[in-house]
Amino acid sequence: MAVATLREAGSLPAEEPVGRIGPNAVLQLSDVLLEQDGAEARRRIFQAAGLLRHLASPPSTMVEEREVARLFGALEQELGRPAALERIRRAGQRTAEYLLAHRIPPLARMLLPNLPASFAAVLLTRSIQRHGWTFLGSGSLAVVRGQPLGIRIRLADALARHAALASEYYRSAFEGLFRALVHPAAHALPQPAPAGICRFDILW
């Protein structure tokens, strides 16, 4: 009997869906590594992650969250956690810069900074939640509205194995967006969280 038939009959467990994440998690980190560590260090990290093909042909569509997790793991193994977090932080900042330049509509870039910060924050988080599928993979996002504004991300299982780096990537990207669109003094402050959860509060 074919594997698919066995699965349909319940003899085999159902396959888990493959979570996907926008390519910026790979592209921006690749550029940061090239700038700060050089081409050879970048090649070693991507090779350790089994992702040399992404150097030869940078992804233009969403990538598997498992690939991002492998890249984060190889980064920390190669550079150590403090340096890896610094590279991840810059990659998150660059992701925010890319989104502001290419994904946030010009009208929103013009209007949001001129609104009261609390109202701009509500509009921005609503938009982020609508587009969560582009950066969360199989994870999920919850927002606790107020001041500070609470961000709670249940990390995809693959990324949860590298929670410190994944959390720093999300935190720095959110901080960049809020500084540009809500208040220039916005700051994303990490908060204690259970395993597999990324938690930070945004203040301004």
What confidence tier does 17 reach under pLDDT thresholds 50, 70, 90?
A: low
CA distance 114 to 180: 11
The structure's pTM equals 0.90
Write out pLDDT tens, residues 168-192.
999 999 999 999 999 999 999 999 9
Contact 29, 76 (CB under 8 A): no
203 — alpha (psi -120 to 50), left (phi > 0) or beta?
Answer: beta
Tell me the CATH number of domain 20-203, given options 1.10.3210.10, 3.90.180.10, 3.90.1520.10, 3.40.980.10: 3.90.1520.10
Three-class SS string for 8-70?
HCCCCCCCCCCCEECCHHHHHHHHHHHHHHCHHHHHHHHHHCCCCHHHHCCCCCCEEHHHHHH
Tell me the residue type at 199.
R
For the packed helices 24-37 and 39-48, what is the interaxial angle rounded to 10 degrees?
A: 140
Of 30, 36, 76, nearest to 56 by C-alpha is 30
Write out pLDDT tens, residues 139-160.
999 999 999 999 999 999 999 9
C-alpha triplet 83, 188, 184: angle, nearest 5°: 110
Token couple for 184: 């220039």
Write out pLDDT tens, residues 55-89.
999 999 999 999 999 999 999 999 999 999 999 99
Phi, psi of 189, rounded to the nearest 5 degrees: -100, 120
User: At which residue do the structure tokens 């193994």 appear?
Assistant: 77
CA distance 80 to 96: 24
